[in-house]
Amino acid sequence: MALFTSSTRNIPETGEVPQHIAIIMDGNGRWAKKRLMPRIAGHKRGVEIVRTTVKACSELGVEYLTLFAFSSENWRRPAEEVSFLMQLFMLALEREVAKLHNNNIRLKVIGDRSRFEGKLVEMIARAESLTQNNTGLTLTIAANYGGRWDLVQATHRMLEANPDCGQTFKEEDLEPYLSTSYAPEPDLFIRTGGEQRISNFMLWQLAYAELYFTDTLWPDFNTMALKRAIKSFQQRERRFGRTSEQLKKNA
């Protein structure tokens, strides 16, 4: 069922805890380099932090967590690193999916699967099928994902389903075909590693997300770091186009 609602059309309900957090997990390679270790050691450590973050979000009452694991531009990395990341993805699915299921967590994977090996595609499908009826946290992994890809694929699917809407379609016509149509827009966007850009991640969905950038490298992003990000979120005034005076009047 589509849960996506547009903050440019409707003012969403807000709370102390973000309903949906989206994270770019940056800094694995630099974390390893600082310790004179190979980059793959940083990626391995990064998987451990994913586990910690999922647990913390579930306990804090976050309903949706979306993690940018591998972008459509990451294929430009050295072939051996890309190969390792694909193997790590499969290993994580093998080891973690049963745990997610036992903890009532639903797993979704978004992105273009056409470049993945058949075995990985099958593992993703099985993991999503196993956890599809779980009612706790929804964990989304963005793999071979790009925001522009998402918009293009959504447009193609919309036009395939509604061939005559090409000249007349509106936002609400496109949104059901976005890869995250099952989730509300992110309330909080976090990027670790010191970079301050969105990097082609959820371009449509992040329209009114609060942005939080930290120098903390992903392998060091522990539960306290997550809580600091949420505390920053709680101090923001989310106006959605309105004035501060209007918010105070309606409080």
Active site residues: 26, 74
**Among 80, 78, 204, residue whose Cα is nearest residue 146:** 204
**Among 206, 75, 204, residue whose Cα is nearest residue 151:** 204
- C-alpha span between 202 and 215 (Å, rounded): 21
State how far the alpha carbon of 23 is from the alpha carbons of 89, 94, 100, 193, in Å: 17, 23, 19, 11
End-to-end CA distance of the chain: 32
- C-alpha span between 192 and 190 (Å, rounded): 7
Whether 128 contacts 96, CB under 8 Å: no
- C-alpha span between 22 and 61 (Å, rounded): 15
Question: DSSP label at 194?
Answer: S
Whether 225 contacts 60, CB under 8 Å: no
Q: Which residue is associated with the tokens 């390893």? A: 32
Alpha-carbon Rg for the chain in angstroms: 18
- C-alpha span between 146 and 150 (Å, rounded): 6
